[in-house]
């Protein structure tokens, strides 16, 4: 039985670097025979959560719920049932996946609101997401890696790593394309070669990793 990939994109730009890296991973995954589900959070944005969502999450924590079947038994009011109807299909996609692929840019030092809405819709106290592995294809205009002057402002990878490891995937990989503004901002023109190297490395690693995980989606040991 082929391994399943859930791929979610969050960039507002259709020709973005994060989408390109995610597409390279997805194409290699499908070429290797893996199952595939796609959700474009920018093209079809999810609503922000409501008070009913927070009620369901609190109820899950109080009742010790640990799985989706338990969540389905929680709604009592019309508002809670409506909230659950929005979250249930998203959780079903996650539960069916062996690997989660997220494509996201850095907006204002963090993640797009479209991705945050998805995270909020699928997160309930005590309930794990499902996939054992998460791959995150990122893009950011500057350089935010270890030792870079902008490193203290890096809240994209740090947030997603903390969130994902807290709610399920213990094995989280990042494919970062940096300095994406170098080709368009004259003051950054001296960094174009570094940007190209970062982009090419992310694309190459995306293809290699996809083929490896499609053949064996076993999480790496912690």
Encode pLDDT of 153-197 as tens digits: 999 999 999 999 999 888 999 999 999 999 999 999 999 999 999
2: tokens are 């082929």
C-alpha–C-alpha distance, residues 212 and 70, integer Å: 34
Averaged pLDDT, 90-99: 97
Give tens-digit pLDDT for 196-220: 999 999 999 999 999 999 999 999 8
Q: What is the mean pLDDT of residues 92-112?
A: 98
Confidence of residue 144 (pLDDT cuts 50, 70, 90): very high
Q: Is the pTM of this model over 0.85?
A: yes
In a domain, 71, yes or no: yes
Supply the mean pLDDT for the chain: 97
Evaluate whether residue 222 is within a structural domain: no
d(CA 117, CA 123): 10
CATH number at residue 81: 3.40.50.360
Structural domain contains residue 22: yes
State the pLDDT confidence band at 3, using cuts at 50, 70 and 90.
very high
Q: Is 59 annotated as a binding residue?
A: no
**What is the average pLDDT across 1-29?**
97
Residue 70 placed within a domain: yes
Residue 145 forms part of a structural domain: yes
pLDDT above 80: residue 221: no
Q: How far is 124 from 46, CA to CA, in rounded Å?
A: 17
Q: How many residues does the chain have?
A: 222
| Closest by CA position to 172, among listed 180, 157, 161, 183 | 161
The total domain count for the chain is 1
pLDDT, mean of residues 79-87: 98
What's the pLDDT at 184? Answer: 95
pLDDT of residue 12: 98
Residue 86 counted as domain residue: yes
Per-residue model confidence (pLDDT) at position 178: 98
Give the residue numbers spanning the domain of 160.
4-215
11 labeled part of a ligand binding site: yes
Residue 198 is assigned to a ligand binding site: no
State percent of the chain over pLDDT 70. Answer: 99
Q: Is 16 annotated as a binding residue?
A: yes
pLDDT of residue 222: 55
Residue 159 among known ligand-binding residues: no
Question: Is residue 221, in this structure, part of any structural domain at all?
Answer: no
Report residue 196 as tokens.
């190209």
**pLDDT at 116 exceeding the cut of 90:** yes
Strand order in the sheet with 35-40: 35-40, 4-9, 99-105, 133-139, 171-177
Please report whether residue 207 resides in a domain: yes
């Amino acid at each position: 039985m082929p391994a399943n990939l859930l791929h979610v994109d969050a960039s507002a730009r259709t020709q973005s670097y994060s989408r390109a890296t995610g597409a390279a991973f997805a194409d290699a995954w499908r070429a290797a025979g893996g199952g595939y589900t796609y959700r474009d959070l920018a093209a079809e944005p999810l609503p922000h959560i409501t008070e009913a969502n927070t009620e369901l999450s609190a109820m899950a924590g109080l009742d010790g719920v640990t799985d989706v079947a338990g969540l389905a038994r929680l709604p009592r009011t019309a508002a809670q049932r409506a909230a659950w109807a929005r979250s249930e299909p998203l959780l079903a996609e996650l539960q069916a996946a062996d690997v989660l692929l997220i494509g996201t840019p850095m907006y204002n030092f963090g993640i797009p609101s479209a991705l945050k809405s998805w995270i909020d819709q699928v997160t309930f106290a005590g309930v794990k997401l499902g996939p054992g592995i998460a791959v995150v294809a990122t893009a950011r205009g500057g350089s935010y890696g270890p030792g870079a002057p902008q490193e203290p402002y890096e809240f994209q990878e740090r947030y997603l790593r903390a969130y994902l490891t807290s709610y399920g995937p213990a094995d989280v990989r990042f494919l970062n394309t940096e300095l994406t503004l170098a080709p368009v901002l004259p003051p950054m023109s001296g960094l174009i070669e570094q940007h190209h190297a970062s982009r090419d490395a992310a694309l190459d690693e995306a293809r290699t990793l996809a083929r490896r995980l499609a053949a064996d989606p076993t999480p790496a040991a912690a």
